[in-house]
């Protein structure tokens, strides 16, 4: 239909779009790496955990999805109370539950934004609620095996990039 030169032009235009689509798995159609110094974040988290005040702030900053994210976090002391009781599958109480890794905060410069998540080994995982949409930050190791040798520790993706390829096969409903 296009001829040889038309097909070549079509491929030249198509290949950049194929390459720019970073599919994470069958559910997430696009992601980008979220890179920040996880050693510094681990040190800041350790300081916040030891802090005698409740106002110790931790910052996470990275660029992805065409914008800069500058996150300000504080330890979340409201979700779980000191009287938190956790029981195992046998009904026995687990003592010494540590909730110091749980944080809440916001994006600097974006009033009304919210950030919820946790910090483990200097890596932030959580949800960003922004006027531009909801985003998720997760450990890259959840999606890439060690043999993949990825150079980044986190991925970020938009809620709008989450798809359910099996939705058409589900027929259940409530009511």
More confident residue, 73 or 49: 73
pLDDT of residue 147: 87
For the stretch 83-100, pLDDT in tens is 788 999 999 999 888 888
Report which DSSP code applies to 72.
E
Determine the Cα–Cα distance for residues 146 and 140; give it in Å rounded to an integer. Answer: 10
Q: Flag whether pLDDT at 168 surpasses 80.
A: no
In a domain, 10, yes or no: no
In a domain, 45, yes or no: yes
What token pair was written down for 108?
A: 């600097």
What token pair was written down for 117?
A: 């998540």
Domain holding 75, by residue range, is: 23-164
More confident residue, 37 or 16: 37
- Mean pLDDT computed over 48-64: 84
> H or E stretch including 15?
helix 3-20
Matching residue, tokens 């005698």: 52
From the list 101, 117, 99, the residue with the least C-alpha distance to 156 is 117
pLDDT of residue 7: 53
- In order of 2, 16, 68, 70, 165, the CA distances from 106 in angstroms are 52, 34, 13, 9, 32
In a domain, 107, yes or no: yes
pLDDT of residue 14: 46
What token pair was written down for 25?
A: 């798995």
pLDDT of residue 134: 98
In a domain, 5, yes or no: no
pLDDT of residue 167: 77
In a domain, 12, yes or no: no
Q: For the chain, how many structural domains are there in total? A: 1
pLDDT of residue 159: 96
């Amino acid at each position: 239909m296009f001829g040889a030169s038309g097909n070549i032009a079509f491929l030249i235009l198509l290949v950049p779009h194929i390459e720019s689509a970073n599919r994470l798995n069958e559910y997430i159609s696009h992601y980008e790496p979220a890179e920040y110094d996880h050693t510094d974040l681990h040190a800041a988290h350790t300081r916040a955990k030891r802090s005698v005040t409740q106002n110790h702030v931790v910052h996470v900053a990275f660029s992805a999805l065409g914008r800069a994210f500058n996150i300000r976090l504080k330890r979340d002391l409201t979700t779980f109370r000191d009287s938190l009781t956790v029981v195992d599958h046998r009904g026995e109480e687990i003592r010494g539950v540590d909730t110091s890794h749980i944080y809440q905060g916001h994006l600097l410069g974006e009033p009304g934004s919210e950030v919820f998540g946790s910090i483990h080994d200097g890596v932030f995982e959580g949800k960003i609620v922004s006027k531009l949409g909801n985003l998720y930050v997760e450990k890259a190791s959840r999606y890439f095996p060690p043999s993949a040798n990825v150079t980044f520790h986190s991925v970020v993706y938009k809620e709008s990039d989450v798809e359910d390829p099996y939705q058409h096969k589900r027929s259940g409903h409530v009511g």
